[in-house]
């Protein structure tokens, strides 16, 4: 219903003024997002968080593997016909406790993985939203400055994955101008390298 309302408003706007008086613009939001220097920086930091989460999971699986080794050893000792019944009973009881510990650890690892994946997914969504909001603000400011009546996202697709903007005539694509505006305050590559080097020396 909202879609039809928008189309109706657009048609009424077009009929209220001549086509020559209406200024259309298009922006490739995907390209603007990909070429935004903050996107690349955020991607690097997000990857660090993903790698950290993976290390945390690996550490837990390492503990799990060691515990499993202990259980296998106890199993052999508990089944060893050479040892007396008392020793075998102690080993069996210890084996049961270790098995409980193993099951609890396995559950804890699964819950931890799900929790961290949820956190990372939420973090990714927040980062993307923040970046798109910045880009949109620049697009809106550019549209006001250049007196565009309508600005469309040429990278947008419908629910059927078909591009929403199939054809446009006499519309200005000012994506490159948006990218330039977004990156005007970006640090040069050499400065970023120096920053990383200083961070590394500080950590040491």
Q: Tell me how far apart the alpha carbons of residues 161 and 168 are, in angstroms, rounded to a whole number.
A: 18
Task: Please give the pLDDT value at position 80.
Answer: 75
What does the pLDDT look like over 52-72, one tens digit per residue? 999 999 999 999 999 999 888
Q: What's the confidence (pLDDT) of residue 65? A: 94
Residues 10, 14, 16: CA angle, nearest 5 degrees:
115
Residue 153 three-state SS: strand
pLDDT tens per residue across all 204 residues of the chain: 444 445 555 555 555 555 557 889 999 999 999 999 999 999 999 999 999 999 999 999 999 999 999 888 888 887 777 777 777 778 888 888 989 999 999 999 999 999 999 999 999 999 999 999 999 999 999 999 999 999 999 888 877 777 788 777 778 999 999 999 999 988 776 555 455 545 555 555
Cα–Cα distances in Å, from 60 out to 51, 72, 109, 113? 14, 18, 7, 10
Predicted structure pTM score: 0.69
- DSSP state, residue 167: -
CB 154 within 8 A of CB 30: no
pLDDT tens digits for 158-192? 777 777 887 777 789 999 999 999 999 887 765 55
């Amino acid at each position: 219903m909202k879609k039809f309302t928008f189309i109706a408003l657009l048609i009424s706007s077009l009929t209220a003024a001549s086509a020559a008086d209406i200024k259309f613009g298009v922006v490739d939001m995907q390209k603007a997002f990909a070429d935004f220097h903050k996107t690349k920086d955020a991607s690097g930091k997000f990857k660090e968080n993903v790698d950290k989460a993976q290390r945390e999971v690996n550490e837990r699986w390492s503990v799990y593997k060691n515990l499993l080794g202990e259980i296998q050893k106890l199993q052999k000792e508990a089944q060893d016909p050479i040892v007396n019944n008392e020793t075998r009973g102690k080993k069996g009881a210890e084996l049961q406790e270790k098995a409980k510990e193993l099951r609890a650890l396995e559950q804890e690892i699964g819950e931890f993985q799900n929790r961290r994946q949820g956190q990372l997914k939420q973090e990714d969504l927040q980062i993307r939203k923040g970046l798109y909001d910045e880009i949109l603000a620049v697009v809106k400011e550019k549209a006001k400055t250049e007196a565009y009546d309508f600005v469309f996202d040429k990278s947008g697709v419908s629910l059927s994955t078909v591009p929403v903007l199939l054809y446009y005539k006499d519309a200005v694509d000012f994506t490159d101008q948006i990218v330039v505006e977004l990156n005007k305050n970006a640090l040069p590559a050499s400065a970023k390298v120096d920053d990383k080097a200083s961070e590394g020396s500080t950590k040491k």
